[in-house]
């Protein structure tokens, strides 16, 4: 069963516009969420994270929003740049199980067009 779901396999946006990547989860024990970016032939790169006690975390052009009641989080990138084109993974930590294992979604391919 897929506990972390990224239902959009791909997203295409114009340079300068907002990119919104979505993630849903089913496990109520998840208490920490992370976004990673992955370029081809490279490992995932940590972008931004959020604790379940918060509903928003911002770092430069990247903002993550968490809606615990809906079990939904989103990553906003404003403004989008061509260099942001990559696969974005949502990941979550389970406070009830292993303290340190991350569970990942399948990823969303973001393409930012010049």
Partner 1 sequence: DTGVSQDPRHKITKRGQNVTFRCDPISEHNRLYWYRQTLGQGPEFLTYFQNEAQLEKSRLLSDRFSAERPKGSFSTLEIQRTEQGDSAMYLCASSNSGTGRLGYEQYFGPGTRLTVT
In the complex, the residues that contact partner 1 under the rule CB under 8 A are 4, 32, 34, 36, 41-46, 49, 89, 91, 93, 98, 100-107
- Helix/strand/coil for 50: strand
- Closest contact distance (angstroms) between CB of 64 and partner 1 is 13
CA 73, CA 97: separation in Å to the nearest integer?
21
Closest CB 18 distance from partner 1, rounded Å:
24
Tokens at 103, concatenated? 């569970």
Closest CA to 30 of 75, 56, 65, 68: 68
Contact 39, 47 (CB under 8 A): no
Residue number with CB closer to partner 1 (15 or 31): 31
- Name which of 38 and 72 has its Cβ closer to partner 1: 38
CB of residue 11 to partner 1, shortest distance in Å: 16
Residue 3 DSSP SS3: coil
Residue 77 or 90 having the CB closest to partner 1: 90
């Amino acid at each position: 069963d897929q506990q972390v779901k990224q239902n959009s396999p791909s997203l295409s946006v114009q340079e300068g516009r907002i990119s919104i990547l979505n993630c849903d989860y089913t496990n109520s024990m998840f208490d920490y969420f992370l976004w990673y970016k992955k370029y081809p032939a490279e490992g995932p790169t940590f972008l931004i994270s959020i604790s379940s006690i918060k509903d928003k975390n911002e770092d430069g052009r990247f903002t993550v929003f968490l809606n615990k009641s809906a079990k939904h989080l989103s990553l906003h990138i404003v403004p989008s740049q061509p260099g942001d084109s990559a696969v974005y993974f949502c990941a979550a930590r389970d406070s009830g199980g292993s303290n340190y294992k991350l569970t990942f979604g399948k990823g969303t391919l973001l393409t930012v067009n010049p």
